[in-house]
Amino acid sequence: MVHDFDGKVALVTGAASGIGAATARLLVLRGARVTGGDLVRPEDAEGSRPYPDEAAFRRVRLDVTLESDWEGAVGDLLDREGRIDVLVHSAGISAGSPLHQTDLTAWRRVLEVNLDGTFLAVKHGIAAMGEHGGSIVLLGSASGIRPSPGAAAYSTSKAAVSMLARTAAKECRATGLPIRINVVSPAGVKTPMWEAMPFFQDLVAEHGSVDRAFAEMTRRGGGRFAEPGEIAEAIAYLSSDAARHVTGVELAVDDGYTL
């Protein structure tokens, strides 16, 4: 078993489900002490299932759009552990509607969660890691590399995440801070995010289950949908010392979707 995170302290957002939950679980399995932040109540979280080491995982409520929540979560973690070695920012939302039918409130909400939340993650991650250093991994999307019709707000927010990461990585390098900042950008992944999309709800109703809805999307040319654990492996690599010479990179985990 690989234990490349022995003794490491990690904060993972969006840890209640999907990629965030898979990443938190993988980091614990590999030796890290993980704090998982999310808005979902602990009893409703996918991450509430038993962990390989229950003592190595704790849950906190974290609204990534609120700076006060970041200050509280990061401050508490520093008080308990003395440092943060890894920050994985997985929290995000999507929205699907043609641009000319997207209202300003919906547009702003996607940008608030996906971009403002990422800005706060990077800001407070850098401040917490400081000269001790560490790794920050952000979740982008293949839709931020290759435009996705009907998802202008989402594609725009994820494209901006990539530039934010590159700028922050260069700033850390220029100021001598040993903090690496990278992005993992998946294509389709089997996560609960899809279940909020009206067209996906229609597919579930038509075909009888979430799994059959994903199969239908694949049949229509959507490509193979990845499992959250596959994306977590890429995140773990960029978070680990094996990637200590990698910063400012956007890693597409997309089965060639963006080629």
Any idea what the Cα angle at residue 60 is, between residues 59 and 61, rounded to 5°?
130
Structure tokens at 72: 């509280």
CB 15 within 8 A of CB 37: yes
User: Residue for token digits 């000269």?
Assistant: 131
Q: Is 154 among the catalytic positions? A: yes
**What letter does residue 26 receive in the DSSP assignment?**
H
What span, in angstroms and rounded, lies between the C-alpha atoms of 87 and 186?
18
Which of 51, 154, 237, 257 does the annotation list as catalytic? 154
- Neighbouring-strand partners of residue 226: 189
SS (H, E, C) 39-67: CCCHHHCHHHCCCCCHHHEEEEECCCCCH
Q: What is the DSSP string of 207-250?
A: HSSHHHHHHHHIIIII-PPBPHHHHHHHHHHHHSGGGTT--S-E
CB 11 within 8 A of CB 87: yes
User: Residue for token digits 């910063």?
Assistant: 247
Give the number of residues written for the chain: 259
What span, in angstroms and rounded, lies between the C-alpha atoms of 181 and 146?
22
Active site positions, annotated: 154
